[in-house]
Amino acid sequence: MSVTVRVPAKVNVQLAVGGARPDGFHDLANVFLAVGLYDEVTVRPAPSLTITCAGPDADQVPLDRTNLAARAAELLAARHGISPDVHIHIDKDIPVAGGMAGGSADGAGALLACDALWGLGSSRDELLAICAQLGSDVPFSLVGGAALGTGRGEQLTELTVGGAFHWVFAVADGGLSTPAVYAEFDRLNEGAAVPPPVASPALLDALATGDAASLAASLTNDLQSAALSLRPSLAATLSTGTSAGALAALVSGSGPTTAFLTKDEDSAESVAAALMASGTCRTARVARAAAAGATIVNA
Ligand code: C5P
């Protein structure tokens, strides 16, 4: 017996970052959009908790208890007084340490899969509370679609999406550490008064109407300068995509994946081809949004 859950990647169409809080986190107005690149997480009974991973970047994925999938199984089991005796297999297609919430996706996927395998029937709210314990982006991986994340990003308000958006993601060589990017954000803003983060009404409206040109005009990421400061070569990737016809380009979350919004599927294919030919990224992937959240695909 096994349970497999499919979980999407995300891009932040707005990432407004406030000043550092006493707990080290930053208050956010974080507009998440789930995109159609997926990891699949399969759990089955085993003598003890073990993890394997397959996929092009599998060698960069930790297979110990630091993996969010393992922590999800442990937290859920502890809450129910049982042992987390499962084998977790991750089929990884989301870039690792890329700013697309791949690790968070695996945490949400393992949580939903273990809940089904163990027949626990946890409510959505119980699962979301464990997701928030696992990390700021994990609740969104469970929910998918589009949502505004406030607090440190874990308090979600679901948003309406009025049409399909076509994206290209340029995958960089090597990852960026999220804490390092936030630390660089703090360094770049030292001494400055960082305004409280607020969601952009124009951006929410563009999502609701499904208008790609309006969404392109309102995309913002306050972590972009920090990611570019740590990885200056991303500037060339961004300009390659816009020269090839993307409506807009930005760093995805804390990077180093860069995201390109295009007007339609054909344009996405040609932007992806230009990015791959340019040598400014490792590969480029086309994906459509919004994608569904974590979903059981076999049980
Ligand atoms: O919540 P998560 O474990 O994904 O956060 C990873 C790191 O990213 C935190 O330790 C912190 O350095 C940074 N972070 C932050 N503010 C947030 C979310 C994350 O400073 N709202």
Query: CB of 79 within 8 A of CB of 130?
Result: yes
In residues, how long is the chain? 299
* Residue 174 in domain: yes
Q: Is the confidence at residue 199, as pLDDT, over 90?
A: yes
**What was the pLDDT predicted at 68?**
98
Q: What is the CATH number of the domain that holds 94?
A: 3.30.230.10
Residues 129 and 245 in one domain: no
Contacts of 88 (CB under 8 A, 6+ apart): 41, 42, 43, 49, 50, 51, 52, 67, 69, 70, 73, 110, 113
**What was the pLDDT predicted at 245?**
98
Regarding the beta carbon of 182 and ligand 1, being less than 6 Å apart is answered: yes
**What was the pLDDT predicted at 146?**
98
d(CA 123, CA 90): 24
- The model carries a pTM of 0.97
Cα–ligand 1 centroid distance for 104 (angstroms): 12
Regarding the beta carbon of 10 and ligand 1, being less than 6 Å apart is answered: no
Q: Is the dihedral of CA 105, 108, 114, 116 positive or negative?
A: negative
Cα–ligand 1 centroid distance for 20 (angstroms): 10
Task: Give the closest residue (by CA) to ligand 1 atom 7.
Answer: 179
**Phi and psi dihedrals of 68, rounded to 5?**
-60, -25
Residues 150 and 32 in one domain: yes
Looking from the CA of residue 24, the nearest atom of ligand 1 is 20
Q: What is the CATH number of the domain that holds 217?
A: 3.30.70.890
Could you tell me the pLDDT band of residue 97, with boundaries at 50, 70 and 90? Answer: confident
Average pLDDT (213-221) is: 98
Cα–ligand 1 centroid distance for 258 (angstroms): 20
Looking from the CA of residue 179, the nearest atom of ligand 1 is 12
Regarding the beta carbon of 68 and ligand 1, being less than 6 Å apart is answered: no
Q: Reply yes or no on whether 205 is catalytic.
A: no
Neighbours of 148 (CB within 10 A): 21
* Residue 184 in domain: yes
* Residue 250 in domain: yes
Active-site hit among 10, 27, 93, 106:
10
Residues 142 and 206 in one domain: no
**Phi and psi dihedrals of 12, rounded to 5?**
-95, 115
Could you tell me the pLDDT band of residue 298, with boundaries at 50, 70 and 90? Answer: confident
* Residue 295 in domain: no
Q: Find the domain containing 172 and state its range.
A: 165-289
* Residue 296 in domain: no
Task: Give the closest residue (by CA) to ligand 1 atom 19.
Answer: 25
Residues 141 and 173 in one domain: no
DSSP string, 226-265: HHHHH-TTHHHHHHHHHHTT-SEEEE-TTSSSEEEEESSH
Q: Is the confidence at residue 299, as pLDDT, over 90?
A: no
Number of alpha carbons in the 13 Å side-chain half-sphere of residue 77: 18
**What was the pLDDT predicted at 145?**
98
Mean pLDDT of the chain: 97
Residues 207 and 268 in one domain: yes
Sequence letter at residue 203: L
* Residue 183 in domain: yes
Sequence letter at residue 172: A
End position of a domain, from candidates 159, 188, 211: 159
Residues 108 and 176 in one domain: no
Percent of the chain with pLDDT over 70: 100
Contacts of 255 (CB under 8 A, 6+ apart): 98, 99, 172, 176, 181, 223, 224, 227, 230, 231, 234
Q: Reply yes or no on whether 93 is catalytic.
A: no
Residues 277 and 213 in one domain: yes
Regarding the beta carbon of 136 and ligand 1, being less than 6 Å apart is answered: yes
End position of a domain, from candidates 159, 194, 212: 159
The string of pLDDT tens digits covering residues 117-126 is 999 999 999 9
Number of alpha carbons in the 13 Å side-chain half-sphere of residue 10: 34
Residues 153 and 222 in one domain: no
Domains identified in the chain, total number: 2
Average pLDDT (260-289) is: 98
Residues 128 and 263 in one domain: no
The string of pLDDT tens digits covering residues 127-171 is 999 999 999 999 999 999 999 999 999 999 999 999 999 999 999
Tell me whether the omega of the peptide bond preceding residue 256 falls within 30 degrees of 0, making it cis.
Answer: yes
Active-site hit among 39, 115, 137, 222:
137
Neighbours of 20 (CB within 10 A): 16
Residues 188 and 146 in one domain: no
The string of pLDDT tens digits covering residues 27-79 is 999 999 999 999 999 999 999 999 999 999 999 999 999 999 999 999 999 99
End position of a domain, from candidates 138, 159, 180: 159
Residues 206 and 76 in one domain: no
Cα–ligand 1 centroid distance for 32 (angstroms): 15
The string of pLDDT tens digits covering residues 234-248 is 999 999 999 999 999
Regarding the beta carbon of 137 and ligand 1, being less than 6 Å apart is answered: yes
Tell me whether the omega of the peptide bond preceding residue 290 falls within 30 degrees of 0, making it cis.
Answer: yes
Task: Give the closest residue (by CA) to ligand 1 atom 8.
Answer: 179
Q: Is the confidence at residue 10, as pLDDT, over 90?
A: yes
* Residue 294 in domain: no
Average pLDDT (274-286) is: 98
Residues 129 and 231 in one domain: no
d(CA 286, CA 272): 7
Contacts of 288 (CB under 8 A, 6+ apart): 35, 36, 164, 165, 166, 167, 265
Number of alpha carbons in the 13 Å side-chain half-sphere of residue 52: 7
d(CA 127, CA 105): 13
* Residue 298 in domain: no
